[in-house]
Chains A and B, each alone.
Chain A
Amino acid sequence: MAGKPRIAVYWTGGCGGCDVSFLELGTPLLDVLAKIEIAFWPALVDAKRTDLESLPPRSLAASLINGTLRTDENVEMARLLREKSQLVIAFGACAHLGGVPGLANLSSREEFLRRTYGNGFHPAPPPGGRAEDSPPDLLPRAKPLSEEVSVDCVLPGCPPPPELIGLVFDAFLSGDPPPAGHVFAHEKALCEECPRTREDRRLAKLVRPHELLPDPEECLLDQGMVCMGPVTRGGCGAACPKGAMPCTGCLGPTPNAGDPGLAMVSALASLVRVGEEGEAAFAAEDQVLDSLVDPLGTFYKYSLPSYVRTGKRSDG
């Protein structure tokens, strides 16, 4: 059918930051909205699930889905949108890699229900209500979108920077859809766009952001901060390092970095130097390495469900 391409934007469950970031397009947003037809975008318009259900398969040009998959309902909606869409775009870090809520996978569902509500909390229907009225159950673990439906391309970030959102629509309205698996961010790591200077590539110590007021010019890694920049895609303009805070990896790893945690471990360990290398320095080097706390939470802040299934928890 001719006319404007029809798209859907939906959150299975993100914090809403992705949608707000969309709004940050500002006036360009209105231009974009003029060129497309929003068939379904709860954040903005009052179309309903029934409308969506009534659409023929693949009648939507694209769906941008953000959020971690956490409940059965999330999965249902993702499948529904997949069925109705030609392109499914993972929109934001949660859909892309599992996102911050994916850190929940570090503990079991039971454990965090207990911790949140105290012992003996079991979902139940309201007074006079029936079983189906009790709150929906959670999936055993948080999942990225690609674990339940096939994803055509990715718009990464937490949230995706408006410029990158712009790219998607440029690509999209230009008529030729992006290649399968395309990620709307740079292939190169953040360092490429980071204005900080890299002088002496060696780590004599590790410091945490609150322990050091960093030099405004020098690379944060060289100053001992665990900056994920080297393993993380560019595309945000190195916003965090510019703000004197280390990159935490929200745009996800570069195409060949593989597992971002392993890549960081390798890079950090390679850079640690305490005096001359050699047996005499082993103990001191280990001290530096051991000063790294919470490696999983640090390296997989946005990607735990994509890369890590800890053996600690029973995996449903």
Chain B
Amino acid sequence: MAEPKFEPRIVAFLCRWCAGAGADLAGTSRLRYPPNAIPIRVNCSGRVELEWVMEAFRSGADGVFIGGCHPGDCHYVSGNYKTRRRVHLLRRMLGELGIEPERVRLEWVSATEGAKFARVMGKFVEEMRALGPRKDKAVATAGLVAVRKG
């Protein structure tokens, strides 16, 4: 019998002013895109902690999407630049950890780019499907001190 089609689980961190607003516009414009990603709204892509990206992988995510404002458009001036650098370095480490760097995607989407949001999200899901399930094992173990206090 045929394998059931692999559907990647994705977490999407969307900044409230650009990517988030863009996603809303995609909604109001009734654009269709695959439902694999669960959005989590943050004020700024600069708020996204790398711990979260890893927590997503730890919790079984196949991909993590981060949406921020275009360069120069960050509502908070420069948060998106910080995120870009963090993600760049994180990707390098992911490679060494055996997680394909492509599984973390950073995209600039403005509040007016509903269509772009739907497009890039669709594309990302497609790529994650093609990439298939994660081959690596659990990424980090919660050792005695690895768990953070709330």
Is A112 interfacial (CB 8 A cutoff)? no
Is B81 interfacial (CB 8 A cutoff)? yes
Give the contacts of A97-130 with B (CB-CB under 8 A).
Answer: 97
Which partner residue on chain B sits nearest A154 by CB separation?
B144
Q: Are B88 and A289 within 8 A (Cβ)? A: yes
Determine the distance from Cα of A307 to Cα of B97 in the docked complex, in whole angstroms. Answer: 11
Is A162 interfacial (CB 8 A cutoff)? no
Q: Are A146 and B144 within 8 A (Cβ)? A: yes
Is A172 interfacial (CB 8 A cutoff)? no
A124-165 contact mask (Cβ, 8 Å, vs B): 1 or 0 = 000000000000000000001011000100100000000000
Q: Are B144 and A278 within 8 A (Cβ)? A: no
Q: Are A259 and B140 within 8 A (Cβ)? A: yes
A-contacting 9-mer, from B1-9, B18-26, B48-56? B48-56
**Chain B residues closer than 8 Å to A310, beta-carbon distance:** 96-98, 136
Looking at B72, B146, B149, which has the most chain A CB atoms within 10 Å of its CB?
B146
Determine the distance from Cα of A286 to Cα of B51 in the docked complex, in whole angstroms. Answer: 21
Of the residues A151, A154, A295, A307, contact of B140 by C-beta under 8 Å: A307
Q: Are B92 and A315 within 8 A (Cβ)? A: no
Looking at B81, B84, B136, which has the most chain A CB atoms within 10 Å of its CB?
B81
Give the contacts of B27-73 with A (CB-CB under 8 A).
Answer: 49-51, 54, 71-72
Which partner residue on chain A sits nearest B90 by CB separation?
A265
Looking at A154, A279, A299, which has the most chain B CB atoms within 10 Å of its CB?
A279
B85-98 contact mask (Cβ, 8 Å, vs A): 1 or 0 = 11011101100111
A194-234 contact mask (Cβ, 8 Å, vs B): 1 or 0 = 00000000000000000000000000000000000000000
Determine the distance from Cα of A305 to Cα of B141 in the docked complex, in whole angstroms. Answer: 8
**Chain B residues closer than 8 Å to A307, beta-carbon distance:** 140-141, 143, 146
Looking at B81, B85, B92, B141, which has the most chain A CB atoms within 10 Å of its CB?
B85
Q: Are A146 and B143 within 8 A (Cβ)? A: yes
Please report the total number of B residues contacting A with Cβ < 8 Å.
35
**Chain A residues closer than 8 Å to B98, beta-carbon distance:** 310-312
Q: Are B97 and A278 within 8 A (Cβ)? A: no
Q: Are A309 and B138 within 8 A (Cβ)? A: yes
Which partner residue on chain B sits nearest A280 by CB separation?
B71
**Chain A residues closer than 8 Å to B89, beta-carbon distance:** 265, 268-269, 289, 292, 295
Give the contacts of A248-291 with B (CB-CB under 8 A).
Answer: 252-253, 255-259, 261-263, 265-266, 268-270, 272, 277-279, 281-282, 285-286, 289-290
Determine the distance from Cα of A229 to Cα of B74 in the docked complex, in whole angstroms. Answer: 31
Is A308 interfacial (CB 8 A cutoff)? yes
Q: Which 7 A-B pairs have the closest CB atoms?
A: A311-B98, A311-B136, A306-B143, A269-B85, A269-B86, A279-B71, A262-B50
Residues of A within 8 A of B (CB): 90, 96-97, 144, 146-147, 151, 154, 181, 183, 252-253, 255-259, 261-263, 265-266, 268-270, 272, 277-279, 281-282, 285-286, 289-290, 292, 295-296, 299, 303, 305-312, 315
Q: List 5 A-B contacts (CB under 8 A).
A: A265-B93, A292-B89, A306-B143, A309-B137, A311-B99
